[in-house]
Amino acid sequence: MQAGRRLRLPALRVILQAWPWALLLLALLAVRLSKGAGVSDAYALLSRPFWPGSAQGEWIRSAQSLSDQTRLRQLDADNRRLRDLLELQGRGGREVSAPVISRQAGGWWQQLVIGRGELQGLRPGLPVTAPGGLIGRIASVTPTTATVALLTDPGSRVGVWVGRTQRHGLLTGVGTSRPVLRFLEKDPGVRAGDVVATSPASTLVPPNLTVGVIQSVDDRAVPATEAVVQLSAPVDAVDWVQVRLP
């Protein structure tokens, strides 16, 4: 370098023209300092539909679901055939969907009014299900509506069993959102978390409809063990229910 030569600052015009480049440089510096944050996140977001793990998982789940459905149909057919042979109550035939037009799940009465009635073939005693399982039985019908007595109603009594231990009991409504399961024997061997379904021996409701899950067990109850059951169908949230016709 030549002695005596002074450093010159770039002209102001050049600096003003270069400010977008300076910003870019700063952004790149930020990416560098943050170890690629932003860039890799954006890439992950954009490439998510093409991730091999996710897509493969979907395929496997879909195939598993198809396999389960096929197996379920076969088991259902077997079950129906065997129940016919034993002359037991069947799972019922056609289902009628009905909108919930009045809901009284709290208060003195625990009931629903649904928008289908005698004209659609409904009659007292038919079981009513919702996504999640059984919610009650039809108590009365008019030509276009039906009143459903919920499992939580104090007058409701349904024969159920715990599939794991195969112990039977009577599910009794007590006016709260959780009915009480009164077992027929002193030591049924059940525990919290066991799934409760309608009894295969029941003459009132189809067998093996999911009812709920045991929440707590009272072994000291007299004359036999009692359990509090959390219903699996959310009665407060369902807008449509299914009535199982015989």
Partner 1 sequence: MSRLARHGWCVATALLVPWLVLAAPAPLKLAGVPPAWPVLWLLPWALVDGPLSGALAGVGLGLVLDGLQLGPITQIPALGLLGWWWGRLGRQGPPIERSFNLGLLALLGAALLGGSLLVQGALLQSQQAGAWVVAPALHTWLAQTLLTALLAPLLCSLQLLLWRRQTQGRRS
Which parts of this chain interact with partner 1 (CB under 8 A)? 101-109, 111, 113, 139-140, 147, 149, 153-155, 172, 174-176, 182
Q: What share of the chain is helix, strand, coil (3-state, %, to 5)?
A: 30, 30, 40
Q: Which of 147, 199 has the CB closer to partner 1?
A: 147
56 SS3 class: helix
Q: Which of 121, 154 has the CB closer to partner 1?
A: 154
CB of 139 to partner 1, least distance (A): 5
Q: Which of 103, 167 has the CB closer to partner 1?
A: 103
CB of 81 to partner 1, least distance (A): 36
Q: Is 198 within 8 Å of 160 (Cβ atoms)? A: yes
Neighbouring C-beta atoms of residue 122, cutoff 10 Å? 24
Helices (H), the chain: 12-17, 19-33, 39-47, 52-86
CB of 224 to partner 1, least distance (A): 12
Q: Which of 84, 185 has the CB closer to partner 1?
A: 185
Q: CA separation (Å) from 61 to 53, 72, 74, 131?
A: 12, 16, 20, 21
CB of 129 to partner 1, least distance (A): 19
Spatial distance between the Cα atoms of 193 and 214, rounded to a whole number of angstroms = 5
* DSSP bridge pairs for 129: 134, 242
Q: Which of 149, 233 has the CB closer to partner 1?
A: 149
CB of 138 to partner 1, least distance (A): 11
